């Protein structure tokens, strides 16, 4: 069974659809890159997949169950890193980790994994600070740490490498590859070629339609998106 099964979904405002007839699926370990020009609706599509926006048509299935009917235990296996991550104003970076861990009854191994991710992304020494004092890149790294620490079955990321320095972007790619190897299905929007992470599929959102791209893409392709 696919972890994510998207069937003929549409979204729009007023009378016009931004996109429609969007169909694709992701199985365990799949890594999908969502590409397309600015304004094509990539962020909106990811927000719909995360349940943050209401569809106009179609169905999103999470492990075979319609997303709106999925149990909290099922939805807790989803993680979404938005293009502008939001944090609690009165919690430090590590208090966000603690909140997530206690809410999900983490065992010692999971706590150790969260600490490992904080070190990997280079933010462990800043954990007593508040996220609103962080740079955009630091906030992005904290959001990715929290999402990966959940060890989700489905991980969605909106332009996660955009605000990151090259070293941190490489770390993120390595951690995403690690998550995929453990069975996580990943979909992320991106405007540039990745250094190490190898996608299993490429999805192009353009002109209100989603196209499945076959084969590798070259530098000319990335310049066009």
Q: pLDDT tens, 56-85?
A: 999 999 999 999 888 877 787 899 999 999
According to the model, what pLDDT value does residue 75 have?
81
Whether residue 118 is predicted with pLDDT greater than 90 in this model: the reply is: yes
According to the model, what pLDDT value does residue 95 have?
98
Retrieve residue 84's tokens.
Answer: 């502008």
Whether residue 220 is predicted with pLDDT greater than 70 in this model: the reply is: no
Alpha helices in the chain (DSSP H): 42-49, 72-75, 93-103, 108-120, 136-149, 166-181, 219-224
Percent of the chain with pLDDT over 70: 95
Confidence of residue 219 (pLDDT cuts 50, 70, 90): low
Mean pLDDT computed over 192-211: 92
Query: What's the whole-model pTM score?
Result: 0.93
> What's the DSSP call for residue 180?
H
Counting other chains too, the contacts that 87-91 makes at CB distance below 8 Å and 24 or more residues apart are 87/131, 87/132, 87/139, 87/142, 89/130, 89/132, 90/130, 91/130, 91/131
pLDDT digits (tens, 9 = 90+) for 3-15: 999 999 999 998 8
Mean pLDDT computed over 42-49: 96
Retrieve residue 203's tokens.
Answer: 């999805």
According to the model, what pLDDT value does residue 141 have?
97
Retrieve residue 66's tokens.
Answer: 């319609």
Q: Any idea which residue has 């904080």 for tokens?
A: 118
Whether residue 167 is predicted with pLDDT greater than 80 in this model: the reply is: yes
Domain count, the chain: 1
Mean pLDDT of the chain: 93
Percent of the chain with pLDDT over 90: 84
Residue of 157, 161, 138, 159 lying closest to 147 (CA atoms): 157
* CA Rg value for the chain: 17
Domain extent at residue 31: 4-224
According to the model, what pLDDT value does residue 74 have?
75
According to the model, what pLDDT value does residue 146 have?
97
What's the CATH number where 197 sits?
A: 3.40.50.300
Confidence of residue 132 (pLDDT cuts 50, 70, 90): very high
Residue of 221, 205, 220, 217 lying closest to 44 (CA atoms): 205
């Amino acid at each position: 069974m696919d972890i994510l099964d998207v069937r003929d979904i549409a979204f729009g405002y007023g009378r016009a659809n931004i996109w429609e007839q969007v169909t694709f699926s992701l199985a365990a370990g799949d890594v999908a890159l969502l590409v397309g020009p600015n304004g094509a609706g990539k962020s909106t599509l990811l927000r719909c997949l995360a349940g943050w926006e209401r569809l106009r048509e179609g169905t999103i299935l999470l492990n075979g169950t319609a997303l709106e009917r999925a149990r909290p235990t099922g939805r807790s296996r989803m993680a979404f890193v938005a293009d502008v991550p939001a944090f609690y104003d009165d919690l430090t970076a590590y208090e966000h980790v603690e909140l997530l861990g206690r809410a999900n009854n983490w065992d010692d191994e999971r706590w150790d994994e969260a600490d490992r991710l904080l070190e990997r992304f280079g933010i462990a020494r800043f954990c007593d600070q508040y996220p609103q004092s962080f740079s955009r890149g630091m906030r992005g790294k904290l959001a990715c740490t929290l999402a990966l620490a959940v060890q989700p079955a489905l991980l969605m990321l909106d332009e996660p490498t955009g605000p990151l320095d090259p070293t941190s972007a490489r770390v993120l790619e390595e951690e995403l590859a690690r998550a995929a190897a453990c069975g996580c299905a990943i979909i992320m929007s991106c405007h540039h070629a990745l250094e190490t992470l190898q996608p299993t599929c490429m999805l192009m959102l353009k002109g209100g339609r989603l196209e499945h791209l076959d084969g590798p893409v070259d530098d000319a392709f990335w310049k066009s998106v």
